[in-house]
Structure 1
Amino acid sequence: MRVDKYLWCVRYYKTRNMVTEACKKNHITVNGQVAKPSKEVFPTDKITFRKDQIIHTVIVLDIPQNRVGAKLVDIYRKDETPIEAFQHLELLKLSKEHYRKHGEGRPTKKDRRDIDGFNLDFDDNEDDTEQ
């Protein structure tokens, strides 16, 4: 089975086109060699790929006939991705939220006016103290 079809069948990617794009960017290797989308995979092959800032390592146990349900995925692959990689991703997400909460985005016009109004009030108070 082709590597693009295999990774799609075991639900690592949503579409085969996404797998093809990852192959073109050299994010997928089979047994240590950069793989094209048409590279054939066999049982006992080791597939390494980068997705969502995590380097996944998968060993092919069996070849599925077509896309399998999420509960049946473990029959066809053995995931050897270190747990530290997932913990690092969680830590990265938490550190990003520390600086700015999710969904806050850029200030609105009202926020900007409030900020400008606050700055003007602060400047007025400085002028009063200098006299």
Structure 2
Amino acid sequence: MKEDACRIDIWLWRARFVKTRGLAADLVERGAVRLTHQGRETRLDKPSRLVRPGDLMTFVQNGQVTTLRVEALGERRGPAEEARTLYALVTSSD
């Protein structure tokens, strides 16, 4: 795997949007995650798809739409404070 990219399921888990990688994989496989990379939006279908810093991500979780920009990939699933440094919220609707 490239050092400048990370699997989407691992990134969602590290950023603490899901409790397990399995739940992250389910979210992606359900088609609930869209990724915009270099101006091209794609609905992700496999948890092995890669995410890079600068990508925009939109996903629905618990009836809430969240759009964020990936700021960093992270190296581990750390505390919430560390996880918040991995992204910048663009929008979040209730």
TM-score normalised by structure 1 residue count: 0.61
1:11 is aligned, of 16, 19, 22, to 16
Which of the pair has the greater relative contact order for Cα pairs under 8 Å at 6+ separation?
2
Residues 33-60 of structure 1 deviation map (CA, whole Å, 9 limit, x = unaligned): 0112111111000111110101111111
Q: Look up the match of 2:65.
A: 55
CA distance in 1, matches of 2:24, 2:84: 20
Shift of 1:71: 1.2
CA RMSD of aligned residues (A): 1.1
- Establish whether residue 34 from structure 1 lines up as the match of residue 34 from structure 2: no
CA distance in 2, matches of 1:73, 1:20: 18
Sequence identity percentage: 25
* Letter of the 1:33 counterpart: T
CA distance in 2, matches of 1:67, 1:46: 20
Give the match's secondary structure for 1:22. Answer: helix
- Higher relative helix content: 1
- Higher relative strand content: 2
Q: Look up the match of 1:77.
A: 87
TM-score normalised by structure 2 residue count: 0.83
Give the match's secondary structure for 2:53. Answer: coil
2:76 is aligned, of 66, 74, 77, to 66
User: Where in structure 1 are there 5+ consecutive unaligned residues?
Assistant: 87-131
User: Where in structure 2 are there 5+ consecutive unaligned residues?
Assistant: 1-5
Compare CA radii of gyration and give the structure with the larger one: 1
